[in-house]
Amino acid sequence: MTVVTTTRRAAEPGARLVDLFEYGLDAPICLTWELTYACNLACTHCLSSSGRRDPRELSTAEAKAVIDELEAMQVFYVNIGGGEPTVRPDFWELLDYATAHHVGVKFSTNGVRITPEAARRLAGDDYVDVQISLDGATADVNDAVRGAGSYDTALRAMRNLADAGMKNFKLSVVCTRHNIPQMDAFKEIADTYGAQLRLTRLRPSGRGADVWDELHPLPEQQRELYDWLVAHGETVLTGDSFFHLSAYGQALPGLNLCGAGRVVCLIDPVGDVYACPFAIHEEFLAGNVRSPGGFAGVWRESELFRGLREPQTGGACSSCSFYDTCRGGCMAAKFFTGLPLDGPDPECVRGHGEALLADRPEDRAGMPKPSADHSREAARRPVPIRIGRRPDPERPPVSACAEDPLAGLRIRSAAHSKETL
């Protein structure tokens, strides 16, 4: 250890956890790993613009190699998501492999594969936790965002888990303008199934960028949410995602720190490593697990990550008396709404973000777009093709997906041999 130790603050007695973590850790505490871009749903706010599988997704062997690395780095657990991770044919195999290698798993699912049998299997494993996604306490609010039938799918999955005796799994809700008034109802649903409620913030990432303006909570709803969170304390989980609300007063439970590249990161289905799950963009791409140094190499050596571990200046926020509690908010939320990274969060509770948002062009021209779009809608867009003479008339073109080892091989006598058959 050379560079890292010089920038790392010595552990002074009474030092706050947040101060120690600001300089990053040799390994993440946990990380998000999206196993596939394939999804049976097409949620309007999908962070990863999922829908279609990517042909370059990590193979079973490559995924296991990543788990081996995580075990060696003593990463406590991975948050597995997607896409819908359970549609990967090797999902259960990878789950078992991770827990056998001391890497705990929490996975997010829309519930489509949580059959009574799957629920029994999950209930019997102490090292696996499940998060069922539901974005409305009623079918109309949920299905407007997550698609027709998704409310029933999620509730059936929860019933299966509860019937199997699974305790304390998570009911995971992305907070929107339409479900903020339903917080008590969500809590009731969670209590009914013996689940714990987990609320997270709507990010303008992936397809979320297209609906953020209409879906993100209104300023007065942010206050309502904050008061609700304070009243419910540690009984409700937040994935530390509302630290920008801490500027209302009392800090919310959690680290209240942007952990991007410091204590968390994202591995996407093709092995790309990003600073956080909400930042799938070249700007936040640190490397790929397929590179020679593997995931550990990316985590430890990436220049992007090293930069994120430097002390951050508050920029335009540094003179704000609330900077110490909100720390400028969410980097990804600023980035995808086109705001400067060293300025206020778009949902800054002091109202500093609103003025900047109002300056955005009406047509949102110039806003950063995510690096990858696997939406099924995207597939229906026109595909540019080239028309021309075959460079070699005797040699048929080879599809990029051709797996035959003889693909593209030119056999002169092919026509003759066909006649002899």
Beta carbon of residue 232, minimum distance to another protein (angstroms, whole number):
17
| Site membership for another protein, residue 341 (CB under 8 A) | no
Q: What is the total count of residues that contact another protein (CB under 8 A)?
A: 22
* Residue that is written with structure tokens 């949102």 in the block: 364
Stretch that binds another protein, among 100-108, 206-214, 322-330, 384-392 (CB under 8 A): 100-108
| Site membership for another protein, residue 77 (CB under 8 A) | yes
Stretch that binds another protein, among 18-26, 51-59, 113-121, 139-147 (CB under 8 A): 18-26
Beta carbon of residue 14, minimum distance to another protein (angstroms, whole number):
8
CA 57 vs. chain centroid, Å, equals 16
d(CA 373, CA 377): 10
**272-274 and 285-288 as β-strands: parallel, antiparallel, unpaired?**
antiparallel
Tokens in use for 357? 């948002």
Q: Which of 76, 213, 231, 378 binds another protein (CB under 8 A)?
A: 76
Beta carbon of residue 8, minimum distance to another protein (angstroms, whole number):
6
| Site membership for another protein, residue 8 (CB under 8 A) | yes
**Between residues 25 and 251, which has the closer beta carbon with respect to another protein?**
25
Contact of 70 with 105, CB cutoff 8 Å: no
Residue 56 CA neighbour count, 13 Å, CB half: 10
Q: Which of 52, 53, 64, 102 binds another protein (CB under 8 A)?
A: 102
Stretch that binds another protein, among 15-23, 150-158, 214-222, 370-378 (CB under 8 A): 15-23
**Between residues 14 and 361, which has the closer beta carbon with respect to another protein?**
14
Beta carbon of residue 31, minimum distance to another protein (angstroms, whole number):
13
| Site membership for another protein, residue 291 (CB under 8 A) | no
d(CA 266, CA 127): 20
Q: Which of 6, 13, 385, 392 binds another protein (CB under 8 A)?
A: 13
∠ at Cα 105 (290, 275), nearest 5°? 45
Report the phi/psi class of residue 217: left, alpha or beta, with left for phi > 0 and alpha for psi in -120 to 50.
Answer: beta
Beta carbon of residue 127, minimum distance to another protein (angstroms, whole number):
6
Beta carbon of residue 16, minimum distance to another protein (angstroms, whole number):
10
d(CA 97, CA 93): 6
Binding mask 112-151 for another protein (x = CB under 8 A): --------------xx-x----------------------
Which DSSP helix (H) or strand (E) runs through 285? strand 285-288
∠ at Cα 99 (96, 102), nearest 5°? 150
Q: Which three-class secondary structure state does DSSP give residue 363?
A: coil
Tokens in use for 226? 């904050």
**Between residues 104 and 194, which has the closer beta carbon with respect to another protein?**
104
In the beta sheet, which residues pair with residue 34?
81
d(CA 22, CA 35): 28
Q: Which residues bind another protein (CB under 8 A)?
A: 5, 8, 10-11, 13-15, 17, 20, 25-27, 29, 74, 76-77, 102, 104, 106, 126-127, 129
